[in-house]
Structure 1
Amino acid sequence: MVEKSTRIASRKRPKIDPLSVYEFTDDDLSVEISSDSVDSKLNSTSKSARKNSTGRRTRSQMTPDGAIVGTESNAKKSPRTKGELSRKRKDVNAAGKNKSKSVQVDEVVTSKKRKVYDGQNEEEPPSSSNLKTWDFYIPPNKHFHTRVSSHTNCNAVTLLKSKLDDRQLQIFRGTPFGYFLDLPRVVVQNQLIHSLLLRQVVPEREDELWFKVNGTKLCFGLEELGIITGLRCCGDADKGYESSDTNRLMDMYFPGLEKVPKQSLIDCFLQKKWRSDEDAVKIAVLYFIHTFLISTANINTFITKADFCIVESGDYETFPWGILVFRAMMESINNRLRVGLKMYRLGGLPLALQCWFYECCTNADGKLAHRVDNKVPRILNWKIEKQPP
């Protein structure tokens, strides 16, 4: 009887905002993304841009007054006087106005600005036209808890290692996604992302996500996605691959289908139905893309012939997957939150947003996640074993 009462009491325990329980301050919000993060995997940076990117500060480090949030690493630093720091800030701010971005990324066409709901009349939500740039979509006094889930297959890397043999893994490691085999154990912290979305503010550009945490504005855009994930973010993501010609991969493993149910692709991978090492890697690539990078619900989801054509032709090695991942994230996140919302799901790759926040907030290490390395891309540096309390 006592055990039953304890279980009931634990179920009724109020949920805590992860960003509030750790009391993050402006001093804790420092981006440690170095110039080395602009890796060749992005395939979008010129040699001259790399030479001039040393000590580059990203947009995620700007405070509301335009100052730069500290970006130095946790290594020992020589003391500086206030005058030196002040002169450095002025020089950086002046240079930042004229300096072009060292990472070139294509603009992403996103959905319209989301409307703001006050939770009292959901059928007729007020127009967002009365909101100004940098206003909160959800006022701080109307923050709420809700059920959040994601479709990301966090076991994708483990399954790749268990289903592919040594030779197939070696071939997979040579693909543009091979470095993900070094991904530590991760889980999507849905409530952390929800806490960030509650702090989302109206941006100047609709193809960026901006958040305001303890007075510090943080930007997550296509450039930040590329730095965190290493995915290619330049190129034509809308290039037509559909054709009336047959596709060998589809005809061999999914005969008679014009588009393949996602669950059928998953079954093909899990049951190792391939007939050659090369086909095993191609099916594994499709599996990884559609269960980890661009995650959606399994039900009523299909893999189009275009996706099979991209992989079968080998064009997937230069395809700008980062653009598609970012679009999926924007579509999933925008127009989601309103006061009183009972549940919503995160699509795309919410893990990228999560790891980006760890990079922005030095106080996250050891509390929300554990930094285990200092690799490029940055998503490989974080081991995430549990949900926030």
Structure 2
Amino acid sequence: MYFPPSEYMKKIKLATRCYMHEALKTLDGLEYLLNTFERKWFEEHPQFKHIFHMPRERNHKVMGMWMLLLRMACMEKKKEAWFVVNGTFIRYGIKEHTLISGLNCRNYPGNYSKAGSEAFVKRQFKGQKTIRYQDVKTKLEKMVPVNRSQDRLRMAVVFFLSSILIAQTKTGDDATPVESFILREVDDLNFCKTFPWGRLSFDHMLGEIEHTMDHFKGTVKGTLWPVPGFCIPMEFLAFEAIQDLGNEFLEDYPDADEHCPRMCKKKFKKCESKGIPLSKIYKALDTTVVSYPSYPSYPSYN
């Protein structure tokens, strides 16, 4: 185990960098609204459409994820994470990420890192060497739809991806640049529809989990820790795997489509605070036996 039991009651503020609520609000509130083509591109995207279907929660509920991180087991296999809760192993692997998110988690296509081109970046940022999240947002908010040009849609896709799926690790003056791969691949919007964003977001999240373990080294220190990346599957994992937690803190989302993944079908119950206190999670957890729910088969991306 990375953390001894003496650390399990220690809480910390996890600062997620998955800006789903803010990103969708920005897209909805542009001065020049998304036109029909741009809106349909997102809403009919085989993967991104699920994020538009989700309940619009202003705040992430991350203490369930923190409870799991405190119980992470040391494993040689680095392609998945395991947590031990009340003597039972809980896995966060590609299957869990897929079934909760509905994103495409198949293998990467060959030479995917060379997909697209720099043509879009050169047109819109004109020699700017470092392109950060705020640069993309500012540019998007000023863009006007132009006939026969898809550059505003490309900018919206970069904003969407860097807000939700592959978010920055730092903000402010020290903000990290937008991933160069994202800037290249949006030049080919068809490639963007078929690329396994679930696989990329999962690998990114595993890297952040490993970075978190390396940072704390078995001792909870400080009061704030950033968690960049698409954390929603990890956010739901404890409540999906532990039935008592799910019964206590989750409820069905009535507007969900039957073909939607699990993150669209459930939402967190309203509580007095912005998040779920760690103490309430422990009270509901107690000594309950942990068991996985029965999952359906993998989703289709046809």
Classify the TM-score, shorter chain: 0.7 to 0.9
Report what 1:325 is aligned to. 201
Unaligned 5+ segments in structure 2 are: 278-302
Deviation string, structure 1 residues 51-91 (Cα, Å, up to 9, x no partner): xxxxxxxxxxxxxxxxxxxxxxxxxxxxxxxxxxxxxxxxx
Alpha carbons of structure 1 residues 363 and 259: separation in structure 2 relative to 1, 3 Å:
same
Q: Residues 273 and 356 from structure 1, CA distance in 2 versus in 1: closer, same or farther, beyond 3 angstroms?
A: farther
After superposition, give the CA deviation of every residue in 1:131-167 in whole Å (9 maximum; x if it has no partner). xxxxx22121232222321111031223323334350
Once residues 280 and 355 of structure 1 are traced to their aligned partners in structure 2, the CA distance between those partners, rounded to angstroms, is 33
Instruction: Give the conservation status (yes or no) of the 8 Å contact 1:189–1:388.
Output: yes
Q: Which residue matches 1:97?
A: none
1:162-216 superposed Cα distances (whole Å, 9 cap, x missing partner) = 3343502122212231232111123322322211111111235221111112222
Tell me: CA distance 1:239–1:361, structure 2 relative to 1, closer, same or farther (3 Å). Answer: same
Structural mapping, 1:148-159, within 5 Å: 148-155=14-21, 156-159=23-26
**What is the aligned partner in structure 2 of residue 290 from structure 1?**
162
Instruction: Report sequence identity in percent.
Output: 22
Q: Which amino acid counterpart does residue 225 of structure 2 have in structure 1?
A: Y
Q: Which residue of 2 aligns with 1:62?
A: none
> Do the aligned partners of 1:148 and 1:345 also contact (CA within 8 Å) in 2?
yes
Choose which of 7, 13, 19 in structure 2 pairs with 1:147. 13
TM superposition shift of 1:260: 2.0
Query: Which of residues 169, 173, 181 in structure 1 aligns to 2:39?
Result: 169
Quote the Cα distance in structure 1 between the aligned partners of 2:248 and 2:259.
20
* 1:190–1:305 CA distance, 2 compared to 1 (3 A): closer
TM-score, normalising length: structure 1: 0.59
175, 178, 185: which is aligned to 1:300?
Answer: 175
Mapped pair 1:211 → 2:83 = yes
Is contact 2:164–2:230 with CA below 8 Å preserved after alignment? yes
Question: Given residue 324 of structure 1, which amino acid in structure 2 is its aligned partner?
Answer: L
Mapped partners of 2:99, 2:155: distance in 1? 27
Q: Could you tell me which of 51, 56, 74 is aligned with 1:180?
A: 51
Alignment check: 8 A CA contact 1:329 1:348 kept: yes
| Unpaired segments ≥5 residues, structure 1 | 1-135
User: Comparing both chains, which one has the higher relative contact order based on Cα–Cα distances under 8 Å and sequence gaps of 6 or more?
Assistant: 2
Aligned residues: 252
Equivalent residue for 2:237, pick from 334, 343, 356? 356
C-alpha root-mean-square deviation of aligned residues, in Å?
2.5
**TM-score in terms of structure 2 length:** 0.74
Q: Which residue does the alignment assign to 1:313?
A: 188
| Kept in 1: contact 2:97–2:198 (CA 8 A) | yes
Q: Does the alignment pair 1:232 with 2:104? A: yes
